[in-house]
Structure 1
Amino acid sequence: MIVNERETEEGLLVAVCDADVLGETFESGEISLTVTEEFYGGDEVDERAVVESLARADVANIVGTRAVELAVEEGFVDEANVLEVGSTRHAQLLRLY
């Protein structure tokens, strides 16, 4: 998986995607999701590193079947809030303090 972390005014933004979806566009009805290098590009890491990044995130965007599955398994995202977009999955995380 690929992780990109950046500090924003709202806190730590983490973008996670499966390596095989980077650069792809997925569509479902009126929804179009492009997994750009600019936003999602970063370091290829193992699952432990993804979990550590998501644990620190104030906001996260997660794309890809395995990345979203891991976020659900680890309790960061509720399965009911996962979107199916074309042949992939997408979820967002927002921590409110």
Structure 2
Amino acid sequence: MAGLLLNERETEKGQLVSVCDADVLGEEFENDAASLTVDPEFYDGEAADEHDVVESLASCSVANLVGTTAVEIAIKNGFVEEENVLDFDGTRHAQLLWL
């Protein structure tokens, strides 16, 4: 399993979480419709494992996930549906918003 980076921030609207596979930090990806930059200012954080990510996603208001492993954890644990995942040059991106 790829190493994961987890960043949690408190905002006026609740907790904002960003999770990425460590090997995509700082990378840029594209697809036919958009581009995605895995900006270290937003995504860099503490080293995490699947348990840490699941706990964080369960308590957040909004989450951004980049990387095959990060997105697979969110799908496997019922936070994101497969059909809502975007593909960018071989990596995956998903967003989570609790309403």
Aligned pairs (5 A) from 1:28-47: 28-47=31-50
The answer on 1:9 being equivalent to 2:15 is no
Picking from 70, 76, 79, the partner of 1:76 is 79
State the 1:30 CA deviation.
Answer: 3.3
SS in 1 for 2:7: strand
Q: TM-score, normalised by structure 2?
A: 0.94
SS in 1 for 2:53: helix
SS in 2 for 1:66: helix
Identity of aligned residues (%): 64
Moved over 4 A (4+): none
Picking from 21, 24, 29, the partner of 1:18 is 21
Q: TM-score, normalised by structure 1?
A: 0.96
SS in 1 for 2:80: coil
> What do the CA deviations read for 1:11-34 (whole angstroms, capped 9, x no partner)?
100000001000000011231100
Aligned counterparts of 2:84 and 2:13: Cα–Cα separation in 1: 22
> What do the CA deviations read for 1:48-91 (whole angstroms, capped 9, x no partner)?
10111111110000000010001000000011100011110000
Task: In structure 1, list runs of 5 or more residues that go unmatched.
Answer: none
Task: In structure 2, list runs of 5 or more residues that go unmatched.
Answer: none
Aligned counterparts of 1:58 and 1:86: Cα–Cα separation in 2: 28
**Structure 1 residue identity aligned to 2:57:** L
